[in-house]
Amino acid sequence: MLDDRKRYLQIAFNNDVGMVRQILPRIVKSDRILIEAGTPFMKREGLAGLRAIRMFWSGSIVADIKITDGAEEEVAMVRSAGATAVTAVGSAPIATLKLFVETCQKLGMVSMIDMLGVDDPLKVVRQLSSPPDVVVLHRGRDEESIRGIVIQYRHVNRLRSKYPVLISAAGGVDLKEARSAIFNGASIVVANLVRPGDPWTGIRTDTDVGAMSRQFLETIE
């Protein structure tokens, strides 16, 4: 489980297993780093991709499968492949989200509810029998280039004042955004690995990813 006294870096792999083999061994081993099997990665590589990540990483692994239905089966599925945390989307039916949190608790998984596209995350959490471990405030990939769309940190205090949840900040996170996220009360910052030519912000794969991961850890300390 995650420690609310620590600040975490979540590094998202969104491409293929080849990138995992090439880059993951370069990343510093730390209990403050979570490795994410991103949604595009999971669609390409499936559970075999998760198992490949587990071969190279002994720590926390997030399966970003964004569950919308069938929570019990899908949580168990990614756990069996090596994940220690899993995501559901905040716009899923409340029955699904309740079962998602319950199943994660039963199986010892970290539950993360991604609030991409949700106007009021607190309203969602209020309807649950138990809160998730993590609420993800997410600016989507397709929103990164739109002026004025930002990660909604205004929800941090509203959520944290009522529930013992950790807040994760995702979507176009660089070192500057990571500092802002921690300043605004987030405990987890999600940085995407981006290839040269990709239009998104994150950790470029043509840089020293190991050094960048250490710099992120120092920044969010």
- pTM score, two decimals? 0.96
In tens, the pLDDT along 67-122 reads: 999 999 999 999 999 999 999 999 999 999 999 999 999 999 999 999 999 999 99
Whole-number pLDDT of residue 37:
98
What pLDDT does residue 142 have? 79
How much is the pLDDT for 191? 97
Contact 68, 39 (CB under 8 A): no
Q: Whose structure tokens read 């168990």?
A: 76
| Alpha helices in 161-208, H assignment, sequence order | 175-183
Match 């030519």 to its residue by tokens.
Answer: 197
Please state whether 152 falls in left (phi above 0), alpha (psi between -120 and 50) or beta. Answer: beta
Low-confidence ranges of the chain (pLDDT < 50): none
List all residues 6 or more positions away from 26 whose beta carbon is below 8 Å from its beta carbon. Answer: 208, 209, 210
**Separation CA 170–CA 64 (nearest Å):** 12
Domain covering 8-219: architecture: Alpha-Beta Barrel (3.20)
Show me where the domains of the chain are located. Answer: 8-219
- The pLDDT, as a whole number, for residue 167 is 98
